Structure 1
Amino acid sequence: MTAMLPEYYFRVRENGAAVFKIDTENRQRRIEMDQIAVINIRNGEVKPHGQRSLSEADRTEIERWMDERKELLARRDIDDIHRAVDYLNLTAQWAQSKATDEQLEDVTDRLLLAMHDLRSVLVRKKADRLDKS
């Protein structure tokens, strides 16, 4: 099993990851994870861990992971938006067919404000795109 392990492990954090180098070539044949860096996806910062200096291979692998992670997060963002559209449709169906007066009273104002805010942003962004064309 240890022969199939990757050379690097990325422990995902809020804004990036902690980067570990995997070592299985030791006397006990245990998996050892040596932290080599902390990365921030938002600003692209890579901080070597402790007094460590990163090799070119380390930096290349970190950059590759960061690129893949950014693509994954972007795909998740748009997928979340598509789900939000579905939730809005399901919410409309629920409000029309199943919701009690008490349930509607509980959510109506918050939904209306959120939808008004969203509509304002979308209309403004659409107008900006049309002005550019």
Structure 2
Amino acid sequence: MAAELPGYFFRTRENGAFVFKVEQETRLRRIEMDQIAVVNIRNGEIKPHGDRVLDDEDVAAIRDWMEARRAVIAERVIDDIRRTVDHLNQVSHWIQSKASDDEVDAVTDDLLLSMHDLRQVLVRRRAERIQKSG
């Protein structure tokens, strides 16, 4: 093959991944992927697939992937929140400049309740942080 493939492939899912060992030097020059484990990044659990016994290299590769995956997810959460702020600004502009009275009425209660809830959580978290530091 022209490019060297990684030794492991992680098929991501909501809370982790299925882990496959990649074998590219097969008799028929095909890429073979053998599932070796299931990973849960929320609780750190690594379950070998079937009767498989994971060696130290397998476990190290999985743990490295878990650490990198957690970092990616954390970055995405912050990015999603920043996009939400942008979206709220766009909603404000839409309501001020383009929305009809009926459209405003259709979204007002949901928006006000959501924003009130968010404000309460933000104020409470900030107050807790100030109390801890003071």
Which bracket does the TM-score occupy, shorter chain normalised?
over 0.9
Q: TM-score, normalised by structure 2?
A: 0.96
Match of 1:87 in 2: 87
Answer yes or no: is 1:72 the counterpart of 2:79: no
Match of 2:45 in 1: 45
Relative distance call for 1:43 and 1:66 in structure 2 (3 A) is same
Q: Matched residue of 2:112: which SS? A: helix
Contact 1:9–1:22, Cα closer than 8 Å, also in 2: yes
- State the distance in 1 between where 2:3 and 2:48 align: 26
Contact 1:21–1:35, Cα closer than 8 Å, also in 2: yes
Letter in 1 for 2:46: V
Contact 1:38–1:48, Cα closer than 8 Å, also in 2: yes
Question: How many matched pairs?
Answer: 133
Match of 2:8 in 1: 8
Match of 1:125 in 2: 125
Q: TM-score, normalised by structure 1?
A: 0.97
Moved more, 62-71 or 99-108: 99-108
Contact 1:2–1:24, Cα closer than 8 Å, also in 2: no
Match of 2:112 in 1: 112
- CA RMSD across the alignment: 0.9
- State the distance in 1 between where 2:53 and 2:3 align: 26
Q: Matched residue of 1:33: which SS? A: strand
In structure 1, runs of 5+ residues without a counterpart are none
Q: Matched residue of 1:43: which SS? A: coil
In structure 2, runs of 5+ residues without a counterpart are none
- State the distance in 2 between where 1:126 and 1:70 align: 25
Percent identity over the alignment is 60
Contact 1:17–1:39, Cα closer than 8 Å, also in 2: yes
